[in-house]
Structure 1
Amino acid sequence: MFAVKGARREGFFALAVWLLLSLVSQVQANPRHASIVIDVDTAQVLHESHADASRYPASLTKMMTLYMLFEAMEKRKMSLDTSMRVSTHAAAMPPTNIRLRSGDTLSVRDAIPALIVRSANDVAAVVAEALGGTEANFGRMMTEKARKLGMHSTIFRNASGLPHSEQRTTARDMAILSTRLMKDFPQYYHYFSTQSFRYKGMIYNSHNRMVRNIPGVDGLKTGFIRASGFNVATSAKRGNRRVVGVVMGGQSAASRDQHMAQLLDRSFTQSVMTKSVRNVSNMDAAPAVAMKVSMSVPVSKPASSSQRTLEPAMMQRPTQAKATVASQRAAGVDSNNSWGIQIGSYQLYDRAQAQAQAVTRWVAGEVVVTEVEVRNRKLYRAQLVGLQRNEAHTACQSLVRQGIGCLVVRS
Structure 2
Amino acid sequence: MRQAFAGAAFRQAFSARSAIAGLLAVVISLAIAAPAAAQSKQNPRYAALVVDANTGKTLFSANADSRRYPASLTKMMTLYLTFEALSRGKITKETRVPFSAKAAAEPPTKLGVRAGGSVSVESAILALVTKSANDASTALGEMLGGSEENFARMMTAKARSLGMNGTVFRNANGLPNSGQFTTARDMATLGIALREHFPQYYGYFSTRSFTFGRQVMPNHNRLLGRVKGVDGIKTGFTNASGFNLVSSVTDGNRRIVAVVMGGASGASRDKHMTDLIAKYLPAASNGGKAAPLVAKAGSTQFDAVGKLQLPKQDAPTPDMRPDTEALVAEAAVDMDEAPAVPFEQAKAEPTPEEVPAPTLQAYADPAPRPQAALEAAVAAPQVDPVKTASVAAPSGWVVQIASSPSRAEAEAILEKTTKVAPGPLRKASPFTVPFEKGGVTYYRARFGGFGSKVAAWDACAALKKQKISCYAVQN
**Structure 1-normalised TM-score?**
0.63
Q: Does 1:233 align with 2:224?
A: no
User: Could you report, residue by residue, the CA deviation over 1:328-379 in whole angstroms, capped at 9, with x for unpaired residues?
Assistant: xxxxxxxxxxxxxxxxxxxxxxxxxxxxxxxxxxxxxxxxxxxxxxxxxxxx
The equivalent residue for 2:62 is: 49
The equivalent residue for 2:265 is: 252
User: Could you report, residue by residue, the CA deviation over 1:357-408 in whole angstroms, capped at 9, with x for unpaired residues?
Assistant: xxxxxxxxxxxxxxxxxxxxxxxxxxxxxxxxxxxxxxxxxxxxxxxxxxxx
Q: CA deviation at 1:175?
A: 0.4
The equivalent residue for 1:107 is: 120
The equivalent residue for 2:8 is: none
Q: 1:308 to 1:167 in 2, by over 3 A?
A: closer
Q: CA deviation at 1:309?
A: 8.8
Q: Does 1:124 align with 2:137?
A: yes
Matches within 5 A, 1:10-409: 19=31, 22-28=34-40, 29-272=42-285
The equivalent residue for 2:307 is: none
Which residue identity does 2:280 align to in structure 1? S
Which residue identity does 1:94 align to in structure 2? P
Q: Please give the root-mean-square deviation of Cα atoms over the aligned residues, in Å.
A: 2.7
Q: CA deviation at 1:164?
A: 0.1
Q: CA deviation at 1:268?
A: 1.8
Q: CA deviation at 1:105?
A: 1.1
Contact 2:255 2:284 in 1 (8 A): no
Which residue identity does 1:160 align to in structure 2? N
Contact 2:36 2:62 in 1 (8 A): no
SS in 1 for 2:50: strand
Rounded to whole Å, the distance in 2 between the matches of 1:78 and 1:62 is: 18
Q: CA deviation at 1:84?
A: 1.5
Which residue identity does 2:213 align to in structure 1? K
Rounded to whole Å, the distance in 2 between the matches of 1:17 and 1:47 is: 11
Q: Which 5+ residue runs of structure 1 have no aligned equivalent?
A: 1-8, 276-305, 312-411
Q: CA deviation at 1:22?
A: 4.6
User: Could you report, residue by residue, the CA deviation over 1:149-193 in whole angstroms, capped at 9, with x for unpaired residues?
Assistant: 000010000000000000000000000000000000000010000
User: Could you report, residue by residue, the CA deviation over 1:30-70 in whole angstroms, capped at 9, with x for unpaired residues?
Assistant: 11111111111111111111100000000000000000000
Rounded to whole Å, the distance in 1 between the matches of 2:252 and 2:28 is: 28
SS in 2 for 1:145: helix
SS in 1 for 2:200: coil
Rounded to whole Å, the distance in 2 between the matches of 1:50 and 1:270 is: 21
Q: 1:20 to 1:48 in 2, by over 3 A?
A: closer
User: Could you report, residue by residue, the CA deviation over 1:128-161 in whole angstroms, capped at 9, with x for unpaired residues?
Assistant: 1100111011000100000000000100000000
Rounded to whole Å, the distance in 2 between the matches of 1:62 and 1:194 is: 15
Q: CA deviation at 1:201?
A: 2.2
Which residue identity does 1:144 align to in structure 2? A
Name whichever structure is richer in strand by fraction.
Answer: 1
Contact 2:55 2:285 in 1 (8 A): no
Q: CA deviation at 1:308?
A: 7.4
Rounded to whole Å, the distance in 2 between the matches of 1:203 and 1:144 is: 35
Q: 1:21 to 1:201 in 2, by over 3 A?
A: closer
**Structure 2-normalised TM-score?**
0.54
Which residue identity does 2:135 align to in structure 1? D
User: Could you report, residue by residue, the CA deviation over 1:57-87 in whole angstroms, capped at 9, with x for unpaired residues?
Assistant: 0000000000000000111110000011110
Aligned length, in residue pairs: 274
Indicate the percent of aligned positions where both proteins have the same amino acid. Answer: 48
Contact 2:191 2:233 in 1 (8 A): yes
Q: 1:310 to 1:163 in 2, by over 3 A?
A: closer
Q: 1:264 to 1:131 in 2, by over 3 A?
A: same
SS in 2 for 1:152: coil
Contact 2:54 2:285 in 1 (8 A): no
Moved more, 23-32 or 94-103: 23-32
Q: CA deviation at 1:19?
A: 4.7
Rounded to whole Å, the distance in 1 between the matches of 2:251 and 2:282 is: 10
Q: CA deviation at 1:210?
A: 1.1
